[in-house]
Amino acid sequence: MKLSKKNFQDAVKIAMMATTQDSTVYASGDCLLFDNNTIYSYNGYTSIAKKFITEEPLQGAVRAKELFSIINKIQDKEFEIKDIGKSWNIRAGRANYELVKKADLELNSIERIIPKDNEWIYIPDNLFEALNFCILNDNNTNIFIGDDVVYSTDGFRIYQYKLSTPMTNKVLINTQLVKSVVCFNNIKEYAITKGWIHFRDDDGSIISVRKYDTSQYPKDEIERVIKENTDGDYVKCAIPDMLIQVIDRASILSKEVDKYDAITMKLTNTGITVKSNNEYGKFEESTDAEIPYNAEFVVSVIMLKDCLKDTDSFYIRKIAVKGTAKETVNLVFSSSNGIKILSTMD
């Protein structure tokens, strides 16, 4: 049976997101199971049922890493796979591989995770925009989906994105798992079952990821901080086009503050000045902008760059520190449906 290299490679790559080379979680977590025109994988935290229709249905479980490596090495646009009982014969040009089948995955264990047809619900139109917006560059964080809003936080930042329509349940998902979900294309529906949230695309492929208990998530505290930083009067400023490049240049001589590479920013009515210094030298560059604020603060490079992504304006909010005469400066970035609040490091 001949297969297109690209089509097969793309399908296997998606399915491999639910495999692991560390099989301590699940005995066959390093395998892909082919059954009934579907590629199954499961590692305890993610389960994938990727549709892949072939002329002769492929059957059996094979090692994911070796299969993907073989396909990558193939130079031709097409190759042949033949099931010869206890192994697959893979031919491409003069190259001839034999890939041994492993003990089958427990297909029943995977299939029982998948929701019934009547449990699926159409996703909010902008759910994937919200998930992408709220992904933090820290895999130890979680993303909270509740009613018509998506939140994420790492202690320095709070991200919020408004959904076009509400979700049916509150859900908490690890950031790393969310990254796998957004790699799926054309997701149309979701379903929530005990311990899992599932997403199904328009060809019937499904990715399921573990969800966490939401009872301890600090939703009320997050909403309090958002209210504190968004209520009242403020003037939004357009983000200068060249600001991200200036920050990149400043980062070369950044200094470490609380384990983060940090730079200094100064806002005046003539624009934004970015400065950095360390034992190897110093840097300063200004950009013209209409800024109605006067403030100077230290900020994490990586967090600032992430806040500039998918936003088009910002303002600052000075918040009184309880019990002191001091104020802390927060940066509030916004888009049409989302905000990103960044604490400075002074």
- Going along the chain from its start, the domains and CATH numbers come out as 2-111 (3.10.150.10), 117-222 (3.10.150.10), 232-343 (3.10.150.10)
Query: What integer pLDDT is reported at residue 25 of this predicted model?
Result: 42
Residue (of 119, 112, 129, 120) closest to 178 by Cα position: 129
Query: What integer pLDDT is reported at residue 122 of this predicted model?
Result: 96
Name 24's Cβ contacts closer than 8 Å, sequence gap at least 6.
Answer: none
Encoded tokens for 62: 């094979």
Encoded tokens for 33: 């199971």
Q: Residue 157, by phi and psi: left (phi above 0), alpha (psi -120 to 50) or beta?
A: beta
How many secondary structure helices (H) and strands (E) does the chain include?
8, 25
Query: What integer pLDDT is reported at residue 108 of this predicted model?
Result: 67
Query: What integer pLDDT is reported at residue 109 of this predicted model?
Result: 67
pTM for the full model?
0.90
Average pLDDT, consecutive stretches of 10 residues, N- to C-terminus, the chain (346 residues): 94 90 52 92 91 90 93 93 92 93 69 87 96 93 95 96 95 95 92 95 94 93 95 92 96 95 95 97 95 94 96 92 80 96 92
Query: What integer pLDDT is reported at residue 326 of this predicted model?
Result: 80
Encoded tokens for 298: 């230290």
Cβ atoms within 10 Å, residue 27? 12
